[in-house]
Structures are given as C-alpha cells and as structure tokens.
C-alpha cells in the first residue's frame, strides 16, 4: 500500500534548516524534512520532542525563527494564501464551532465559497466516510471524544486538502475507540488527501499507517525511512529503544567477521551480531523481546547463531501475550511469547529453557 513517490521527484513540501526557539531553548532544529505527494509521513517521537511545533511550522500555522518552507518548489511564508488553502490541520483536541456536526463539517467549504449544493454533498460524503452521518444534526457539545475527533476529520476531508496534518489524533481516546479510529484512518483518510503528515508518539501507530517515518528526538530528526528500515535498522540507540528494543549489558568487540561481530558481554557471554566495528570497540547490543525464541532445553537448535540455557524468573501476562524474564548467568533477557506457547511449553517461574536469537535480530551501537 506504499504510495511514496520515486526518488528525485520534487517534494510537495520541504522544510529546510527550521529552528524554533521558546524561552531560550531550541524546541525545533531540523535540517531537512520532506513531504511527498501521495504519502503518509509519520513524525514519531516521545512527548516533548518538538513534534507538534514542527507540524505547526510545516503547516504554516507558526513562523520559524530561522529556516524556510518550500511549497511546490517556491519559498512560502506563514500567510501564503495557496499553502493556507492547501494545508489543513486536525489537532489532538479538536476545536468545533458551536452548532451541529453538519454545520461544522460544511464550514470550511462555506468560507471557501463553494456553491451550496456542492458543499452539502461534500459534507454528507465526509460524514458517511467516517461513519457519523447519523450525527449530522447533533449539537457538537453532545459528542463523545471519539465522535468529536471524527467530526473534525470529516470537516478537514470535506475541504479536500492537498496536505492533511493530524496531530496525535487518537491520543485522548480509550482503547476501543482508538482502534476503530485507526482502522478508519487507514481506510478513509489515507485515500482522501494527496499527502498526510501524522504526528504520533506511538511506534505501532506510525508503523501501521505510514509510508515513511521521521523519528524526532530533542527537536531534531534523527532518522527517516520506511517503517521496515526504522524497525530493522535503527540508526541510534534512542531509535532502537523508542521503537521497542531492550538493551543487554555493555560489551566489547572480540572478533570481526564478514558483516558480523562477535561481542563479549561484560557478563561473559559471546554474541554474534550483524554489524561493523573494530576489535576492542565498546558497544551496546539491542534486541527486541519478540525476536527471542524460547523452547525446552531438549529442542533441536534452530538457525539462530546465539543459543543460551537459562531459567524463567518472572512471568507477566499482557493480554494475549506473556512477557518473561529469563536469567542466563548474570544476564537477564526480556522475552515476549503467546499464551499458547506458555501453555504448550508449560512455562512457569523456575522452568529451564533454551533462549535463541539470530545475529540479524541484534543491533549494535557504540557504548
């Protein structure tokens, strides 16, 4: 479902050397970020990373202290009329005008002087697309949080923007409502605007919806790429950790092979890791709990290069999954398995197990 344009095509929107300073601190310091026609770009990072401020700069809702915004090949400012018509933002807490849902959804079209018959048809279509046509005559102050967010999305979609900015659209919703809205974002929003910029702190949300992901830390874009690249080849320890990796103890490169390293952890274990480095380098090795294979000690070895005998020290149910801690001679591994595997292997605290992990599932970073 990837809609990213081929490399070399001029981006629809580009931010260059964007800096925004609040109270003497650089909240945003981004050298370059691009939004291409036909893509969903997720700006991913923790709370306070500067994501929403970056969105306001890209949407021309706020001016940078330095840097420039380029739209369709020309530099634009905050008051550029073409960009203001083309870009629409839906905020985390949707602001709806007093009145009915239908009046809110057609408001932007009325401001743009769209003929009455057309704007009503477009408003009805947007309401139907987001499954809230039955709320057309409801006053906005009667809506739930999820309904209000859908109304705000319908209002944005009715305008048929070139760039749709979504600022944490599911952050304030409960689990069930959030899941349904995400399904509709995938089904409707992705196909309703030439370009979408999704601001989120949730890696799962970003990986599920985006064609490309820009990871932000401390106001800077640390890594940009397709979800698979971010997940499988994190550029920094922060990116690995934020997207779900757990960290083993620090270690030192003991041997260098062709595309692989043998790392001796400070706890004594040897690990074969895909990566590059020099003998003697101090490194940290990251892994994801779901990449660790757990089996009874008598199970035949898999193709995994790293195999250890350990004992289960803790079990923590997490819905349909179970998180285990496995102790291996001074090294603790966090492991995620299904409840079915837990029952099948009859695992409990004190059970002896074999823990296996492929070299390609491990990531190495300078210590």
Look at residue 335 and tell me if it is in a domain. yes
Shared domain for 104 and 238, answered yes or no, is yes
The count of structural domains within the chain is: 2
Please report, for the chain, how many H helices and E strands are present, in that order. Answer: 11, 20
Closest listed residue to residue 333, CA positions, set 290, 299, 294, 289: 289
Q: Which pLDDT score is estimated for 173?
A: 81
Kindly report, residue by residue over 145-199, the tens digit of the pLDDT.
899 999 999 999 999 999 999 999 888 788 888 888 888 887 877 777 679 999 9
Burial of 119 per CB tally in 10 Å (0-12, 13-18, 19+):
buried
Domain boundary among 224, 242, 260: 242
Q: Would you give the DSSP letter of residue 91?
A: -
pLDDT of residue 106: 95
Task: Report the SS3 class of residue 122.
Answer: helix
What is the side-by-side order of every strand in the sheet holding 195-200? 87-90, 163-167, 195-200, 39-44, 212-217, 220-225
R_g of the chain, CA atoms, integer Å: 24
Q: What is the DSSP secondary-structure string of 51-81?
A: HHHHHHHHTTSS--SEEEEEETTEEE-TT-H
- Strands 293-295 and 39-44, by their bridges, are unpaired
Token pair 């995620």 is at which residue? 336
Residues 49 and 112 in one domain: yes
Q: Which domain holds residue 71?
A: 13-242
**Residue 205 φ/ψ region, left for φ over 0, alpha for ψ in the -120 to 50 degree band, beta for the rest:** alpha
Domain boundary among 185, 216, 242: 242
Pair (24, 77) in one structural domain: yes
- 324 inside domain: yes
pLDDT for residue 300:
73
- Domain presence at residue 6: no
* Residue 42 resides in a domain: yes
Give me the pLDDT at residue 172, please: 76
End-to-end CA distance of the chain: 38
Both 169 and 124 in one domain: the answer is: yes
Which DSSP string corresponds to 273-333?
A: EES---TT-EEEEEE-GGG-EEE-TTSPP-S-SEEEEEEEEEEEEETTEEEEEEEETTEEE
Q: 151 is written with which tokens?
A: 């109304």
Q: For the domain that residue 355 is a member of, what is the CATH number?
A: 2.40.50.100
- Do 250 and 196 share a structural domain? no
- CA dihedral of residues 11, 13, 14, 19 (deg, nearest 10): -170
- 335, 287 Cβ separation under 8 angstroms: no
Contact 167, 199 (CB under 8 A): yes
Domain check: are 232 and 339 in the same one?
A: no
Residues of the chain with pLDDT under 70: 1-8, 193, 301-303
- Mark whether 219 and 103 lie in a shared domain: yes
Using CB atoms within 10 Å of the CB of residue 2, give its burial: 0 to 12 exposed, 13 to 18 middle, 19+ buried: exposed
Query: What global pTM score does this model have?
Result: 0.87
Per DSSP bridges, beta strands 39-44 and 195-200 are parallel
- pLDDT for residue 254: 96
φ/ψ (deg, to 5) at 130 = -105, 15
Phi, psi of 113 (to 5 degrees): 60, 40
Predicted local distance difference test score (pLDDT) of residue 301: 67
3-class SS of residue 100: strand
Q: What angle do CA 44, 4, 17 make, to 5 degrees?
A: 55
State the sign of the Cα–Cα–Cα–Cα dihedral 353, 356, 361, 367. Answer: positive
């Amino acid at each position: 479902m990837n809609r990213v344009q081929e490399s070399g095509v001029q981006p629809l929107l580009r931010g260059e050397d964007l800096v925004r300073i609040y109270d003497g601190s650089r909240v945003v310091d981004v050298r370059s970020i691009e939004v291409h026609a036909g893509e969903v770009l997720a700006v991913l990072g923790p709370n306070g990373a500067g994501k929403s401020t970056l969105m306001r700069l890209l949407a021309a809702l706020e001016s940078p202290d330095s840097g420039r915004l380029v739209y369709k090949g020309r530099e634009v400012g905050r008051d550029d009329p073409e960009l203001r018509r083309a870009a629409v933002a839906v905020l985390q807490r949707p602001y709806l005008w007093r009145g009915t849902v239908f009046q809110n959804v057609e408001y932007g079209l009325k401001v743009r002087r769209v003929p009455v018959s057309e704007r009503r048809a477009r408003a009805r279509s947007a309401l139907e697309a987001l499954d809230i046509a039955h709320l057309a005559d409801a006053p906005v102050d009667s809506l739930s949080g999820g309904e209000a967010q859908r109304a705000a999305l319908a209002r944005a979609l009715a305008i048929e923007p070139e760039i749709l900015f979504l600022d944490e659209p599911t952050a304030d919703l409960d689990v069930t409502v959030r899941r349904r809205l995400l399904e509709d974002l995938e089904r409707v929003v992705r196909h309703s605007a030439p370009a979408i910029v999704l601001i989120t702190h949730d890696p799962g949300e970003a990986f599920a919806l985006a064609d490309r992901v820009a990871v932000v830390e401390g106001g800077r874009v640390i890594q940009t790429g397709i979800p698979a690249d971010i997940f499988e080849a994190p550029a920094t320890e922060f990116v690995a950790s934020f997207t779900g990796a757990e960290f083993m103890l620090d270690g030192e490169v003991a041997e260098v092979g062709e595309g692989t390293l043998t790392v001796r952890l400070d706890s004594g274990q040897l690990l074969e890791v895909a990566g590059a480095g020099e003998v003697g380098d101090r490194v940290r090795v990251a892994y994801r709990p779901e990449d660790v294979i757990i089996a009874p000690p008598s199970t035949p070895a898999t193709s995994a290069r790293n195999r250890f005998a350990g004992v289960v020290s803790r079990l923590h149910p997490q819905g349909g999954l179970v998180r285990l801690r496995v102790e291996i001679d001074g090294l603790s591994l966090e492991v995620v398995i299904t409840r079915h595997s837990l029952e099948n292997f009859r695992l409990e605290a004190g059970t002896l197990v074999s823990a296996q992990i492929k070299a390609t599932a491990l990531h190495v970073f300078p210590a």
